[in-house]
Every structure is written in structure tokens, then in C-alpha cells.
Chains A and B, each alone.
Chain A
Amino acid sequence: MAGESNGAAGFGSSIRRREDPELITGRAKYTDDLKLAGMVYCTILRSDYAHAGINSIDTSEAEALDGVLGVYTAKDIEASGVPGGVPVGWLLPGLKTPEHFMLAKDTTRYVGDGVAIVVAEDQYTAHDALELIYVDYDPRDGIADPKKATADGAPLVHDDAPNNIAFDWEIGDKESTDAAFANAAHVASLDIVNNRLIPNAMEPRAALADYNDITGELVLYMTTQNPHIHRLLMSLASLGLPEHKIRVIAPEVGGGFGSKIHHYADEAIAAWASMQVGRPVKWTATRTETYITDAHGRDHVTHGEMAIDADGRFIGLRVDTYAAMGAYLSTFAPAVPTYLYGTLMSGEYDLPAIYCHVYGVFTHTVPVDAYRGAGRPEATFIVERLVDEAARVTGIDPVEIRRRNFVAPDNFPYQTQVALAYDSGNYEGALDKALEAIGYDDFRTEQAAAREQGKYLGLGLSTYIEACGLAPSAVVGSLGAQAGQWESAVVRVHATGKVTVYSGCSGHGQGHETTFAQIVASALGVPYDDIDVVEGDTGSMPHGWGTYGSRSAATGGSAIASAAEKVVDKARTIAAHLLEAAEEDIEFEDGNFFVKGSPDQSQSLPDVALQAYLAHNLPKGIEPALEATSFYDPANFVYPFGTHIAIVEVCSQTGNVTLQRYLAVDDVGNVINPMIVDGQVHGGIAQGIGQSLYETAVYDDGANLLSGTMLDYAVPKAHFMPSFETDRTVTPCPHNPLGVKGVGEAGSIASPAAVVNAVVDALSPFGVTHIDMPVTSEKVWNAMK
């Protein structure tokens, strides 16, 4: 890379995040901080029933309340003539796509389903009025368990989806896999539940909509990870406004973890309400609303089996999953337990036969969609649990059985049996580094000695791979995506040599303003402080697809690198002209153009930029100004991998699990900012530990959400965590200009299996072979009995 010597702030530097001073001093502006003249407030009445008919809705008392501007139901939205839809953006063959309207028309299908809207002068009145709306419900049976929901006679979520089956999907080769099992020397088999999770971004979702009925323009500030996708879906499916008349702006966004990818009814409702009352309308979810409206994650019931030959080699993997979709298909929901799940079933292993079957199932619950990791944590969990179970049934050490089955470093690119082609990897490299750091052999000695004293220690491995930065767009489209997965960038060098970078990604905590500037600092040889990064405004930058799925560095970062390269190419042409030399004789180093061998006579990038803007003396055929746009469509996914190791102690008296150590060796390719990468790894691990030990959304048999507050739903706390140990190996991505892969989700993908494998290892003297997540103290205590 050019200009890699850019001070302490270029590519590879752990420079502090420039975002943080505003964020941690409370000066950053989130959607709910914004106030517009004449702004009013919107609240949404939500069903208290998991499943109920709506006989009638009486809004008259609410309408009569002082300060209420309007109370609306689905009928009003229908009468307004807008499409009113909340669409699904990923289609699978045979997918059932029942209507999802912005408010429930005649049936509510989950606790939280929107029923009516209030618009009022202030938020207190808007909340008071909700209590004055009287809905005559006809309560019906509901169901929350995705497997039981497929049974004959189970309550139906949608009449046109028999047995509640949204889709019936498979990948791999059933016949060859069955044959492998017929020839297996050993079979490892597990029944697991991958627990339902509630996202809990720190900032609740919010929208501030400002519709101008003279110009027909809508400005919509909202909590989004992908403003352009929201603009597209608002236009096509919900509001019917022309795309160019909608401007979606993401102010600071306080975390998403996937929950702010999706297109929900609520933000569209705020926009529609603004169109009705002719004033700016703000809606902000209460924390209670986030629990019953933000798309949940995971929720699988799975049977998995591994066939192993007499030498301990994996010869077949068979997985059967019931994946909850919830009451409606959320934006990318069908992709999550299919193309982001079944395709990961080969793990890091050379597996000659795989078959994975998935039912997507409607349940009377909050819709389920992508949540940090999205399908890949679920895949990694069943694979890595089966690998440990295979070690147990064969009597081979868990480390050895992994080594024996890894895809070898000289076997890349490796075509799996489940569509993906891994482009690079060195799985034993990461494993060896992790084992050495943890002191594997010493641990086994310590573990044996501790057991003699009635102390139960366990070590769990998770040798994971993940596939992120979905691409290329043509492949993603062939799998059903109603979206592209390329990314855009504009690199604009101003006349003074300062730089503004526009990206179609939309960060919400990732540190793009820092890392993207680092990329450009190195590429252009411009001081880091001279570069600003702008994201999150459909009015300011070309179309982009946003930030999720660990894609921003690999796709958005590559787009920026590619745009920066175009800038350098143009600047080189101008510099050659100014230096009166042939272009091919011009070198570019640390931001300076000079004739090969004569670095004294140089033109700096700012010199060239000034000339480009003045345009007094440009080479023939060269346009003025200095900027470039890139639309970068990657050639493949990127494939981060690594080894995570958890060491736990289980209290034999209470069943309490304490994490003693957690070590992660990740390979995310080249690293733009090691500190930020460590931070991402830490956050992901904490979320995965949350899933494995603490978090779970609990619905009762009637599909009522019991864990509806933070009193019951255990978001992990800092003092539950050990100090994480992190390290890396570096296997650059071979197909993008930066050699980078993704890191946002790796921790949450790898860690649940590591923790549960550790607990099961600790409990092996009790004959325990599996415990479902979250591994609560009572479950452990029962398992020890």
C-alpha cells in the first residue's frame, strides 16, 4: 500500500477512536435528541395478546383528550391509499409470504403487534391516550415453540401457512450423507435448543419524520444501520412516496447488533403520521417496546449428528432444524437459518458429506431476524458441540480430533459440500497459538488434581469459521436476496488537499470515522487529521447497502481503497503534466509525486489538488477537480476463523459457573486498527457469553413473553466477565485490495460453543453430555444430581 508510513495514524495503527469524545461526553446527537419546530409525538398501542381477533376498536375517548391530534387504526392507513406493507427482502423457493400490514387489521399475532396510533402535542398525552383506546379482542390460542408449532392441530399464525411452515429448505446431499452414516464406526448425536435472544441495543429505536406536503419530500431521521435500504422499502412497500423524495438520515446510532437493519412498521408509521398531521412526528420506543418489537435472534430446535470413521475422521454431518420466524417474516429473516446457517455446516473441517434441513416456522412471537452473527453462531454451536461429542464417543482428545479433521492449509481454496468455497485459512496455526497461550497440557493436569478435591474445572474449544461480507451481488441475488451486496465510496480531495470520504456503510459504534480515515491516510499519504468520513445520509452519498454482517471493512473499506486508487491515478496524470514527465515515470510515496530518481522535485497531493481545482493548467482530456467514486462488488465472501478457549469452574454446591479464563485467537486478515478489532472481539465474546450463560427470551405456553424486562432478561454485566485474552494470526483475504476480513461478529459466533463445551467438560465426571443454553446454575445443579 502506498503511504504506509503515515505517521502513527495510518493503516495498522491503534489510534484512539475519533468518535469517542463526543459520545462519552454526551454531546453526540441521537434521533431522540433532535427537535424540529412544530414537532409532535406518536405512540403505538400494542396487542397484549399473543393471538387475538380484533372485533372493534373504539378510539373516541382518546381522540377527545386535550392535545391529541389524531388516533388511527389500520383502516385509516388503508384509506389513505399508501401501500402500507412491511415486506420481506429475502425470498426462498416456496416461501409463504403472508401479508404484513403496518398495523394489525383484524388479527394480532404476537404480544407487541401494533393495533392503533396516537399523535399528540406532547409525549405524556400521547402515552395517556393509549389507555383510552378500547379494543374488543377475541383471544385465541397462541404458540411459541417452533417445533411444536408444526404439529397438526397447533394454533395457526397465518391461515395460508399450513402447520405454520414458512419454508422447507435443504442444502447438501441427503443420499451421500445417509450413506456415510450407514458406514460410520461412531455416531455423535445431540438435541439442542439455540435460545431466543433479545437484542438490547443501548439506544432504543426511534424515528423523526418531517413530511412537506408542498414539495412532497419526506426527511426521516431514524435509528438505522442501512439508510438506503430503509429508503427503498419505505418508498416501495410502505409509503408509496417516490424514492428521490425520501431522505433517510442516521444521526448517531447507539448500537444495533442487527436490530436496526430491519424495516419495521414503527418508523413507517411515524412517517405516515407526519403525512396525516402535516407536522414533524417523533416516535421513540420505550425499553418495554424494544423487548416486544425489535426482531429477536436465534430460536432454533435442532437435532444434529456426526458420522465418524474408525480413524476418528468425520465422514458425514446431518442437521435438522426448526427455526422460528416469529409472527411475520422480518426483512432478511428467511436468509438467517438457511444461507447464513446451512452453508456454515462444514465448519473448519474437511467434511465429505453434509445434509442440512430447515423448517422456517411461524410462531406467535416477535419476528426473528439477524442478530449479531445471524445464523453463523447457531451453525458454529451445533458443529462445535458435535465435534466435542464426537471426541467423547471416540475417546479422542478434543484437540486431536479437530486436528485430524481440519481443512489443511494447502487445501485452499476449499469447496465445501454446502455451497461456500473457503478462499484461505490456516486453522492449526490459530489452534496452536491458542493452546500454547492457554497452557493446554498443564490445564489437563490441574483439572485432574482439582477433581480429586471436589473442584470441577472445564476447558472448552471452539475452532470456528465464519463467512461474512456476503458477495458477490449476483451470487447473493441467486440465493434470494432482494438487495445487492456491493458497497459505494466517494473520496473527495478538496482544493486545499483536505479530504472528505463518503461511504454507503452506516456505522453505529464500529468506529468507521476512524478506521476509514486510516485507510485513506495510508492510500493518499494525507495526514489522518485532514480526512473526514461521512456516512448515514441518503441525501449526501451514493447508494450503499449499510453496515451489518461484518461487511463494512471488506466491502465499504475496499470501495474506499478503490476510490482512493482512482484519485491517485488521476493525480498522477496531473502531476506528470506539472512535472513535465511521462506518467509511467512518476512515483507516489508519502503523499508526494516525483519523477523516478528525483524525489527533490515533487508535487504533493495538495499541490496537485489545487491545480486540479484551479484547472488553469490541466493535461488534455482531464476534467477539473479531484475526486472519485467507486462501487465495489467483492468477488467472494470473506472467511475469518480462529480458536476460542474458555475455562470454567463449576460450583458443586450451587451449580454456579464461573469463567476463569477466556482466550481468543482470531484471524481477521489484515488489521486496520488493532485496538478497535480487540474491542469488537471483546464485545462479541461478551454477547456470546451472554447467550451461553445468561440471556434467554422466555415465552409461556400461550406465547406470552415472560422475560419482558431487564429484571428478568439477563444482559451480561462487566463483573460476570474475566479479563479477555486476545491474540491474532494474520491470513490476508486474497481477493480484496486491503486483505481484510470482518470482525464484528466473530466473538459472538465462536464463544457460545467454547463456553458450553467447557461446562460439559467440567461436568464429564457426572456423565453430562449436553446442557442447553443459557447454562443457568439450576440447570447445572440438576445435571450434577
Chain B
Amino acid sequence: MFPSKFDYHRPSSVQEAVQILSDNPDAKVLAGGHSLIPVMKLRLATPSALIDIGRIDALKGISRANGSLRIGACVTYNEIANSGVVQDAAPLLAEAAGQIGDRQVRYRGTIGGNLSHADPASDLPAAALALGATLHVSGPNGSRSVSASEFFVDLMMTSLQADEILTEVEISAASAGTGSAYVKFEHPASGYALCGAAAVVTRGAGGSCTGASLCFNGVSATAVSANGVAASLVGSDLSDGAVESAVSNLSIPDAAGDMFASAGYRQELAKAIGAQALRTARDRA
């Protein structure tokens, strides 16, 4: 690969990384590199410096405490997909991470890089949305938290400030009676989601639905929530008919088309894939 020239920094703490980032406005944060390096290779991105956060141990842990799952930004897809802790507390995230790219990509790519890059066709954004994840970020003025629903702003744009780094993703551990599913219809070339549906449903004691969420990757400029549609399932028996009827009203605002698939087709895919995700989540609840 023949990128333009750039400086390379390898900080050993988040504070140091934030400092370097503040000092170098044209710098980019490098985690797994699987989105950044290809665009640098094509010289579509020409950062003045890379700040490699891959050696910061504080960004690498998975833990569960007080009903909360915390995943460091530099945890790889592979670690998430295969972590017993994640599989138990947020199986949706593990399932989505296991569908990203191929084995080599999953060994390098990280959750923090994925969410910060905010590719709408990637697999984690909808899962983070559907799980109501909280994203912890650090900047020169300290740390703050952002909910996933406020994090994704537009195509590859997040509410991260230029001098902030995503450090940790926090998710409430799944409660009893909850089932989830991530179903992807993949683009045959990229393997990204032409439409990826993340569904979570909770059944009450009598089996009827007490909570549901449904979010999509790949259909519009950001991962989007269709929780209005999901909410209409609350109180239902979650039968195939109830699911069909709920998704029949699905319409994703600003659905986007490209040369491979039109916006209208993606809307239809969202109905089919969304229903499949809801049915599978129900069966697992």
C-alpha cells in the first residue's frame, strides 16, 4: 500500500492519545485499521498522523458488573463474538460481531473503530441502537457519555468531537424473557449489510410481548431505529401474524439506494429481514 506520508504515534494511555489528538487536528485514531487503512491506501484519506491506540490496555477489557456489560473500544469483533460474557449479557452484539467480514477482519477490527467510523452498512451500529448502548468518550475536558441513539448523526458522522476518542461501550445485561437476533442480507461484493436487522423482544409471564426494539443497518445514511413499529408489538402474542402485521407498516425514512439496490427494494428487504429477525428473537425469548 502506498498512502501519503503520515506521522505515527503510539500512546500508552487514553490521556496521552487525547493529548496527541488535540495537538494534531488532521490526525486519525487507528484501532484495527480495517476501515481507515483501505481509504488511506486509495489516498481518499490523507491524515497527517495516525494515533495507534491498539496498545492501550485500558481499552481492551470485557467485564460485567451490576447488571452492566462494559466493552473496551479496542476489543475485537472476534473477542466479542466468542466471549461467554457477551453471549450471555448481550447475545445480539455477539451475533452481529460474528457476521462482520471474514475471520481475518474479525481478528483485527474493533467495536470502537466500528462505531466511530459509523458506516451505516456495518453490522454493529443497529445492534448498539437496539440494545440502547451507552458510549463513553474521552476528550481534553474529561469524559462524557452518549446514548447510541444520539451518537449516529449522519453518513459516517457521529457526535464525537474531533478531539474525542470513544473508550468504552456499556450495555444493560439482558433480562429474563428476552430474546434477540441479528439477521443480515449481505451485499455480495462487500459482505456489508444491504439490510441488517437487529431485533430484541421481551415476553412477560403469560408469553405476551412486554418490550421490543427493531433497528436496521444498511438501509439509510445511519443505522436507524424502527422502534415505533416494534412498539406496536407490545401486548401482542408475537405470533407470525402479529409480526407480519407490525412490519407491514414499516417505512424507513430517507431510505437510500445505490447502483446495486434501490431505496424501494431496501424498504421491502427491511420488512422481510425485520420480520425474520423478530420471529427469531421471539423464538429465543
Contacts and interface: CB of A to CB of B under 8 A. Distances in A.
B189 A694 contact: yes
Interface residues of A, number: 30
Contacts of A712: 189-190, 259-260
A776 interface: yes
Interface residues of B, number: 21
B8 interface: no
Contacts of A310: none
A710 interface: yes
Interface in B19-45: 42-43
B229 to A, nearest CB: 17
A350 B272 CA distance: 47
Contacts of A781: 265, 268
A119 to B, nearest CB: 15
Q: Which of A288, A654, A698, A712 has the most CB of B within 10 A?
A: A654
A778 B259 contact: no
Nearest to B275: A653
Contacts of B191: 717
B2 A654 contact: no
Interface in B173-208: 185, 187-192
Contacts of A782: 265
A589 interface: no
Interface in B222-252: none
A714 B189 contact: yes
B199 to A, nearest CB: 16
Q: Which of B188, B191, B268 has the most CB of A within 10 A?
A: B188
Contacts of B4: 128, 131
B262 interface: yes
A236 B260 CA distance: 44
Nearest to B102: A717
A214 interface: no
B188 A694 contact: yes
A713 B265 contact: no
Contacts of B192: 711
B189 A711 contact: yes
Q: Which of A653, A694, A698, A778 has the most CB of B within 10 A?
A: A778
B261 interface: yes
Contact of B272 (A123, A654, A706, A707): A654
A654 B261 CA distance: 12
Interface string B85-112: 0000000000000000000000000000
A778 B189 contact: no
Interface string A693-713: 110001000000011011111
A494 interface: no
Nearest to A720: B188
A713 B188 CA distance: 8
Interface string B241-285: 000000000000000000111100100110011000000000000
A712 B261 CA distance: 11
Contacts of A709: 42
A127 B188 contact: no
Nearest to A651: B272
A647 interface: no
Contacts of A713: 189
A653 B183 CA distance: 14
B42 A654 contact: no
A690 to B, nearest CB: 9
A716 B189 CA distance: 8
A778 B272 contact: no
A198 to B, nearest CB: 11
A124 interface: yes
B25 to A, nearest CB: 22
A782 B261 CA distance: 11
Contact of A124 (B2, B185, B260, B268): B2
A363 B269 CA distance: 36
Contact of B189 (A123, A124, A286, A715): A715
Contacts of B261: 776-778
A190 to B, nearest CB: 25
Contacts of A778: 260-262, 265
A656 interface: yes
A128 B189 contact: no
A776 B260 contact: yes
A551 B5 CA distance: 47
A778 B190 CA distance: 17
Contacts of A698: 259
Contacts of A720: 188
A687 to B, nearest CB: 14
B272 A711 contact: no
A710 B189 CA distance: 6
A711 B259 CA distance: 12
A288 B269 CA distance: 31
Contacts of B5: 124, 128
A709 B44 CA distance: 13
B189 A654 contact: no
A715 B262 CA distance: 21
Contacts of A656: 185
A706 B258 CA distance: 10
Given A123-B2, A654-B272, A778-B265, A706 B188 contact: no
Nearest to B265: A778
Interface in B143-196: 185, 187-192
A406 B89 CA distance: 64
Contacts of A128: 4-5
A124 B269 CA distance: 44
A248 B62 CA distance: 57
The 4 closest A-B CB pairs, nearest first, are: A714-B189, A714-B188, A127-B2, A653-B272
28 contacts: A123-B2, A127-B2, A131-B43, A288-B42, A654-B269, A693-B188, A694-B188, A706-B259, A707-B259, A709-B42, A710-B189, A710-B190, A711-B189, A711-B190, A711-B192, A712-B190, A714-B187, A714-B188, A716-B188, A717-B188, A776-B188, A776-B261, A777-B185, A777-B261, A777-B265, A778-B260, A778-B261, A782-B265
Interface of A: 123-124, 127-128, 131, 286, 288, 653-654, 656, 693-694, 698, 706-707, 709-717, 720, 776-778, 781-782
Given A123-B2, A776-B261, A781-B265, 14 more contacts: A288-B42, A654-B269, A694-B188, A698-B259, A709-B42, A712-B260, A713-B189, A717-B188, A720-B188, A776-B188, A776-B260, A778-B260, A778-B265, A782-B265
